[in-house]
Amino acid sequence: MNTRHKKQLWLLAGGNGAGKSTFYKTRLEPLGMAFINADVLAKQLFPDEAEARSYEAAKIAETMRLNLLSEGRSFCFETVFSHPSKIDFIAKAKALGYEIILVYIHTETSSRKELSLSDKAKTRGKREFTGVNDRLSTFLTPYESERTFVQRSRAALNLARISQRVSEGGHHVPDDKVISRIPRVMQNIKQALPLFDVSYILDNSRLDNPFQKVAVIKGGKIAFSKKPLPTWATPLLSDYLE
C-alpha cells in the first residue's frame, strides 16, 4: 500500500470492533495524511461526555470531510459504512478526481472450534489474547441453537473486542447495533466497490495473525484473492469472481 502524488481518499470501513483504528495506527499513520475519526473527535472535543455527544462529533467529522474535499487534500477517514450516505460521499469524491482506496476489515467466527485461540497465541501472554478469548464465551455459549449461533457468530469477535476496549477505557457500542450493522455494512461495501480505484479486503478474525489479505481489486478486476475464499467473502466479491 503506497501513496502517489494524485490526491487520495483512503476509506477504512468495517463493523464496530473490527480493528479499523488499530489498522490506521499501525499501517497508515506513518503516511502523515489527515485522518478523520468521529470517535477520536468526541474524546478530544468532549472528554467528559464523549459518548453522549457522539452524534455531534459525527456531524463535525462530516463537515471536516467535506472541507477537505473542497480543498482537494488527501485524507483518510474511518467509518462503519452502514449508512448509504457514505456511498454518496465516495461518489462525490470520485467526481472531484480523487483516487479512492478502500480498506475493508471483516471479522467472523464461522465455527465453534474457532472460538479458542491457537496454543501459540495463548502462550504469548498478551493481554488482548486472553481478554478477547474470555469475552467470546459471553457472546456465544454452548447452549445456543445453531441458528442463533450463526446469527451471532458474525458479530461475536466484534462484541468481544468492544468489551475489551471498554475495559481499557474505550467507548461502548450497544450489542444490537453492532449485530444489526454488519449485514448493512457488507451490502453497502458490495454496492460501492465499483467506485474504488483499489480495494483491499482484509480478514482480522485471528488475533495471532491480524489483517490477513483476502482479496485486492484494482481497476475493476481481481488482482489477488485468497484460495479458498472465506465463506463471508464469496457473496461480497461475487460480481468479480469468474
pTM given for the model: 0.78
> Residue 9: what pLDDT?
98
Q: Which cell numbers hold the place of 21?
A: 483504528
Could you give the maximum distance between any two Cα atoms of the chain, in Å? 55
Question: How far, in Å, CA of 164 to CA of 145, rounded?
Answer: 26
φ, ψ for residue 63 (rounded to 5)?
-60, -40
What residue ranges of the chain are covered by domains with CATH 3.40.50.300? 8-108+178-236
- 235 CB neighbour count, 10 Å cutoff: 12
Average per-residue pLDDT for the chain: 81
**CATH superfamily for domain 8-108+178-236:** P-loop containing nucleotide triphosphate hydrolases (3.40.50.300)
Question: How far, in Å, CA of 228 to CA of 234, rounded?
Answer: 10
Per the model's pLDDT, the better-predicted residue between 223 and 54 turns out to be 223
pLDDT digits (tens, 9 = 90+) for 172-212: 766 777 777 788 999 999 999 999 999 999 999 888 889 99
The answer to whether the bond into 228 is cis (omega within 30° of 0) is: yes
> Residue 224: what pLDDT?
98
For residues 155-171, average pLDDT: 68
> Residue 183: what pLDDT?
87
Q: State the burial class of residue 52 (Cβ atoms within 10 Å of its Cβ: 0-12, 13-18, 19+).
A: exposed
Q: In what order do the strands lie in the sheet with 212-218?
A: 34-36, 75-79, 8-13, 99-106, 198-203, 212-218, 221-225
3-state helix vs strand vs coil in the chain, percent to 5: 50, 15, 35
Per the model's pLDDT, the better-predicted residue between 40 and 149 turns out to be 40
Per the model's pLDDT, the better-predicted residue between 242 and 191 turns out to be 191
For residues 23-29, average pLDDT: 93
pLDDT digits (tens, 9 = 90+) for 81-124: 999 999 999 999 999 999 999 999 998 875 444 444 333 333 33
- 92 CB neighbour count, 10 Å cutoff: 13
pLDDT at residue 234 above 60?
Answer: yes
> Residue 6: what pLDDT?
86
Q: What percent of the chain has pLDDT over 90?
A: 51
